Amino acid sequence: MKIGIVCYPTFGGSGVVATELGKALSKKGNEVHFITYSLPARLNVFSDNLFYHEVSVKNYPLFHFPPYETSLTSKLVEIVKFEKLDLLHVHYAIPHASSALLAKDILLTMGIKIPVITTLHGTDITLIGSDPSCKPVINYSINNSDGVTSVSESLKNDTIKLFDIKKDIKVIPNFIDHNIFNKSKKNIYRERFCKNGEKLIIHTSNFRKVKRIQDVVNIFCKIKKTIPSKLIMIGDGPERANIESLTRTLCSLKDVIFIGKVPDVENVLSDADLFLLTSEKESFGLSALEAMASSVPVVSSDAGGLPELISNGKSGFICKIGDVDDMVEKSLYILNDDNLSNFKDESFNRSKDFNINIILPRYIDYYDQIINDAN
């Protein structure tokens, strides 16, 4: 198959899923073309059948907003036509789905048929997509894509609740490559920061309000009163300065280490002791799956798809959004030396249900079905 993948090229979950999917498809012999505005953060390998096409946006003094959608659509028309693609798979509806549909219409005038699959990732539905400034376009894009997938049942239900959906939405959960994430990697961060045997706690996010990172800091400060520990914060984003300032007032910056965006999250997670994810919305929680694959139990909120991922009481605990005291209690239970290794094993075991070799064939079957239906 010749597949075009459109995604955000950032460290965000949708970009990571799209990039890892493209890499895995190319390893299976498919030709994969990434069409994005810069090189995807996780696109660290190249092979004969993996290509990257940059979308460059023309600017002009008249433009207050550079017309990215127009440039993306034109690039899609060019690449589908000249590379003779069989399918476009766009990740994150805004603005990728509507650009792909317009490209499809333009290509049809040239006698070229290209089916479009849109994968919904979360905030494209629950936060931004349902805003009146986007809603009619997203509604149209979902109903007119040839195929639509969602990363969790919860996101599928939210989509049906928030929009007027006429299209069947197929749930294909996110996946993990256990060759990259596992507990056997050397964790230099533990060696460096937990010299006195402190427990290692991790949080990863894009530091947006929706992640409720103040809860992570509050939980950590309370855990630390009972169990010596360190907290590593991975990622960056608009809330980081506020969170660093909160950390300074609540506990010491020596105990909470902000390491920013790192390309090798797997080395920081490897065999850490606890992962905290306190989000208000979380359609899937790829960062929690990465933790579990690294044998790290998770204490999370009950937002979105998290209960579909974490088996409560086994690979971690699910608590009500914002219930910091319950999250502290559950964290202390996991970190207790009598319980920790069991939770670590269960986390790893649960992550195996999402192994790439189980999920990838579901995408490939869906691609086949959509291509057949379109012809």
Question: Applying CB under 6 A, which residues contact ligand GMT?
Answer: 12-14, 17, 92, 121-123, 151, 174, 206, 210, 281-286, 304
Q: Least CB distance from residue 210 to ligand GMT, whole Å?
A: 5
Nearer to ligand GMT, 172 or 251 (CB): 172
Q: Least CB distance from residue 310 to ligand GMT, whole Å?
A: 12
Q: Least CB distance from residue 206 to ligand GMT, whole Å?
A: 5
Q: Least CB distance from residue 137 to ligand GMT, whole Å?
A: 18
Nearer to ligand GMT, 210 or 364 (CB): 210
Cis peptide before 95 (omega within 30 of 0): yes
- Give the number of other Cβ atoms within 10 Å of residue 124's Cβ: 26
Q: Least CB distance from residue 50 to ligand GMT, whole Å?
A: 21
356 residue type, one letter: I
Nearer to ligand GMT, 151 or 327 (CB): 151
Nearer to ligand GMT, 211 or 222 (CB): 211
Nearer to ligand GMT, 104 or 121 (CB): 121
First to last CA, the chain: 14
Backbone angles phi, psi at 329, to 5 degrees: -60, -45
Beta bridge pairs of residue 150: 120, 171
Q: Least CB distance from residue 346 to ligand GMT, whole Å?
A: 21
SS3 label, residue 259: strand
Nearer to ligand GMT, 9 or 304 (CB): 304
Contact 167, 143 (CB under 8 A): yes
- Give the number of other Cβ atoms within 10 Å of residue 325's Cβ: 11
Nearer to ligand GMT, 92 or 348 (CB): 92
Task: Give residue for tokens 């909160």.
Answer: 246
Nearer to ligand GMT, 12 or 297 (CB): 12
Q: Where are any strands of DSSP class E within 154-247?
A: 169-171, 199-204, 229-234
SS3 label, residue 298: strand
Closest CA to 258 of 220, 312, 310: 220
Q: Least CB distance from residue 37 to ligand GMT, whole Å?
A: 14
Q: Least CB distance from residue 42 to ligand GMT, whole Å?
A: 12
Q: Least CB distance from residue 113 to ligand GMT, whole Å?
A: 28
- The rounded distance, in Å, linking the Cα atoms of 35 and 238 is 26
Whole-number Cα distances in Å, 219 to 114, 230, 329: 49, 12, 9
- The rounded distance, in Å, linking the Cα atoms of 239 and 113 is 44
Nearer to ligand GMT, 51 or 284 (CB): 284
- Give the number of other Cβ atoms within 10 Å of residue 160's Cβ: 12
Q: Which helix (H) or strand (E) holds 87?
A: strand 87-91
